[in-house]
Amino acid sequence: MSAEFDADALRVKFAALLDGRLSEAEQAELDRLLAGSAEARRLWYLHCDMDVALADWSAARRASPDAMQTPPRRPRWLRLAAAAAVVVTGFVLWLLLPSREKTGNGVALLSQSTDAEWLQSSAAMVDGAVLPPGDLSLKSGAALIAFYNGARVVLEGPCEFKLVSAGEAWLGSGRLTAHVPPQARGFSVRTPTMRVVDHGTDFALAMNRDTTGEVHVFGGKVEVALPGGTSTLITGEAVRVAKTVTPTSARPSDFLDEKKFVQRAAEQSGRRMSEWRVASDALSSDAAVRVHFVFEPTQGTRQVTNRATYAAPESHGSIVGAEWSAGRWQAKRGLVFHGEADRVRFTVAQSMHALTLLAWVRISGLPHHDNSLLYSDEATAGSLRWQITKRGELRLEIARDLGRNYADWEAVNSRAAITPERLDQWLLLATTFDGRTVRHYLNGELISSGASFTPPALNLGTAELSNARDPVKHHLPSTMDEFAVLDRAMSDTEIARLFSAGRP
Amino acid sequence: MPLNDDRHAHFIRLLNAAHRRLLAYLVSLLGNRHDAEDVLQKASITMWKRFESFDASSVKVDDDFLSWACTVAFYEAKNFQRAAARSRLHFSDELLASIADERVGDLVNVSARAEALEHCLRKLDESSQRLVEAAYFEEGSILTLAAQLGRAPQTLYNRINIIRRKLAECVTARLAGGGAA
């Protein structure tokens, strides 16, 4: 063994390479070293084998039932959250990740919101979002929160509110109403001055910033614990809590209960849907649109109509298996691709030279290595595949002819953006290609871009939504309520505008 | 696919048996485990499509399948690198060719190295084991960890590098000494 290199230093470089932390110059140097030394290559092979074995070992250790406090093994892309909870440098440190990052510790769902403006960053605050313990303060608007224990709370902005657990919340200021069914009995709300425990079924709470407040009971029995003692209120009773406690009578009309909230939400939903329809009609009449499905059922057929102004007969979609269900708004329909055979088939015979793919989808899982949004039947030059990887990357693949007896698929991935907390929510996915650059968008924002080869033409041909004709499974469990293919690359602004006009 | 179930089952058996070695092979070409997994997935599909052209009846040992599969995987890896060329660093074509040649023969060592490593891991103290677990569990988790701990990522990388050195030395000694280490 010669001293032509330092094995330790080499291992550090290997590690940096595998972690993607090597600079171009360092990579070139490593390349020379490896090319020039069989011993260096032997160390590299050993390092690679260790890398593979260590990854297996870590996954197995994580999954083994006797490992301390081990969470159940989940798909790799779900495991990031758990990975932070480890012991480092000899100290036991149970780490808390930023709260919105994981779904494992959810205590409630954001069931619905109307015009809600949250104090915290609002990207993740969409209907259906899983809510972990933590701040949930509203600047304005209103929201319906469904606690995991079954209690339902309508929050009215502005308010300072925190989720504590699946059966407990904290209200610093503002107003809420709570509906507590039998299985959620014991649901409680703390405030700076009192603790309200519900024994079923409806109450309201209003807190002022000066810590005075009111408790109103509309049905059932509620216990109000104050520093000075506990009192019980029943249907129709209320108390005002300041320096002293004053009994009064309950006034339902002062509060936004679930019924009024739902009515308000329906009005908002109708308004939003009209806004979308204007934008959607404009899209249908865009000269570059090859396919535009808005998924409105046609009586007696299993067809989705291509609403593009110049729609070729073969471009209407035929539904295989998928069933109708609710779309982004109450009055909007969508197609559920639930079963593994579910799909919509259609044909775009014309070649294209640039591309925009748009889909409003609600994804319920990413079970396969590649999960198909759109998949050409053919695998010849210019064929297209639009997919989401298991890790949540949006991917466009274009088939390239390199003179072999099969097509080479060249892919441009986005970063992993469709993360677990994005599941079960309406998302606008978009990918554009101008002949050189592929750009991926999530909810109107550019998330990644990458260079591509320039194909002679893009040929979608006969293709399927949410599935693929392939021996390997690609079915994407999802609901889709709008889809479009354009023969031009839309701009960032256009896509952002489509998102704001179409967000639920 | 027109191939019958028996043939499919046979293919899957061969592929499963070769899986870890193929992955190790691709990691040494691509220098990234996740890319290697992606490429292996793609290569498996290509292998399945071309399995007809592979005369399985002549397979006496799985090694025949392994070298055939390595060839398919090599071209898939080149394909991948061409597609990702603009966004990723990679080895030069000459180096790739010599790794590809040499590594197929080296793959017989994969399982012995894994066994030795298992033994060596058991000798690590619990905190080191946990750090390794975090490092390999998910891409980027070291950065997450470092952020959470308010430490420079380099501190954790350094510590892991020390652990890796210990492991590599232990594995090498164990393989050389026939298990004495």
Task: Determine whether the interchain pair B149/A90 forms a contact, defined as Cβ–Cβ distance below 8 Å.
Answer: no
Q: Are residues B102 and B127 in the same domain?
A: no
Answer yes or no: is B116 within a domain. no
Specify if B170 maps to a domain: yes
- What does the alpha-carbon distance between residue B129 and residue B148 come to, in Å, rounded to a whole number? 19
Q: What angle do CA A166, A172, A178 make, to 5 degrees?
A: 45
Give the C-alpha distances (Å, rounded to integers) separating A399 from A131, A180, A208.
41, 56, 63
B115 domain residue, yes or no = no
The answer to whether the beta carbons of residues A74 and A85 sit under 8 Å apart is no
Question: Is some CB atom of chain B closer than 8 A to the CB atom of A54?
Answer: yes
Per-residue pLDDT of A411-453, as tens digits, reads: 899 999 998 878 888 999 999 999 999 999 999 999 999 888 8
Tell me: do B20 and B100 sit in the same domain: yes
The pLDDT of residue B180: 44
Domain range for residue B14? 5-107
* A60 in contact with chain B, both atoms CB, cutoff 8 A: no
Q: Does B171 touch chain A (CB under 8 A)?
A: yes
The answer on B127 and B103 residing in a single domain is no
Q: Is residue B181 part of a domain?
A: no
Q: Is the residue at B118 inside a domain?
A: no
Q: Are residues B91 and B27 in the same domain?
A: yes
**B117 lies in some domain:** no
Separation of alpha carbons A208 and A500, rounded Å: 35
Which chain A residue has the Cα nearest residue B97?
A35
Please check whether residue A84 touches B, CB under 8 A: yes
Q: Residues 6 or more apart from A260 whose CB is under 8 A from it?
A: none
Residues of chain A with pLDDT under 50: 1-3, 65-103
What are the beta bridge partners of residue A205? A176, A215
pLDDT in single tens digits along all 181 residues of chain B: 344 567 777 777 788 888 889 999 999 999 988 888 888 888 888 887 777 766 655 555 566 788 889 999 999 898 888 877 655 678 888 899 899 989 988 888 888 899 899 899 988 888 788 788 878 766 566 777 777 667 777 888 888 889 988 999 999 999 887 544 4
**Chain A residue closest in CA terms to B112:** A49
Contacts of A92 in chain B (CB under 8 A): none
What pLDDT is stored for residue A82 in this prediction?
Answer: 30
Does B70 map to a domain?
yes
Together in a domain, B14 and B97: yes
Task: Say yes or no: B101 and B144 in one domain.
Answer: no
CB pair distance less than 8 Å for B130 and A88:
yes
Say if residues A437 and A451 touch (Cβ distance below 8 Å): yes
Q: Find which of A31, A48, A370, A452 to mutate to test the B interface (most B CBs within 10 Å of its CB).
A: A48
The complex scores an ipTM of 0.89
DSSP 8-state code for residue A314: G
Cβ contacts of B167 on chain A, cutoff 8 Å: 50
CB contact under 8 A, B134 and A86: yes
Whether residue B162 sits in one domain with residue B95: no
Q: State which of B107, B138, B153 marks the end of a domain.
A: B107
C-alpha distance from A196 to closest chain B C-alpha (Å): 35
B156 touches chain A (CB under 8 A): yes
Q: Looking at the structure, tell me whether residues B68 and B147 fall in a common domain.
A: no
The shortest CB-CB distance from A84 to any of B129, B141, B159 is to B141
Residue A452 in contact with residue A412, Cβ under 8 Å?
yes
Domain co-membership, B69 together with B138: no
Number of inter-chain CB pairs under 8 A, A vs B: 175
Do B94 and B146 lie in one domain? The reply is no
Phi, psi of A40 (to 5 degrees): -65, -40
CB-CB under 8 Å, A88 with B172: no
Cβ atoms of A78 and A423 closer than 8 Å: no
Total domains in chain B come to 2
Say yes or no: B145 contacts chain A, CB-CB below 8 A: yes
pLDDT confidence of residue A347: 95
Contact A50 B165 (CB under 8 A): no
Contact between B110 and B19 (Cβ < 8 Å):
no
Task: Please give the pLDDT value at position A466.
Answer: 95
CATH number at residue B68: 1.10.1740
Q: Are residues B96 and B170 in the same domain?
A: no
Per-residue pLDDT tens for B17-58?
888 899 999 999 999 888 888 888 888 888 877 777 666 555
Q: Give A326-390 as a 3 state SS string.
A: ECCCCCCEEEEECCCCCEEEEEECCCECCEEEEEEEEECCCCCCEEEEEEECCCCCCCEEEEEEC
Q: What local confidence, expressed as pLDDT, does residue A83 receive?
A: 31
The reply to whether B142 and B68 lie within a common domain is: no
CB-based contact, A92 to chain B, within 8 Å:
no
Q: Which of B80, B174, B60, B57 is nearest to B123 (CA)?
A: B174
Query: Which candidate from B49, B95, B126 shows the least CB-CB separation from A35?
Result: B95
Residue B152 lies inside a defined structural domain of this protein: yes
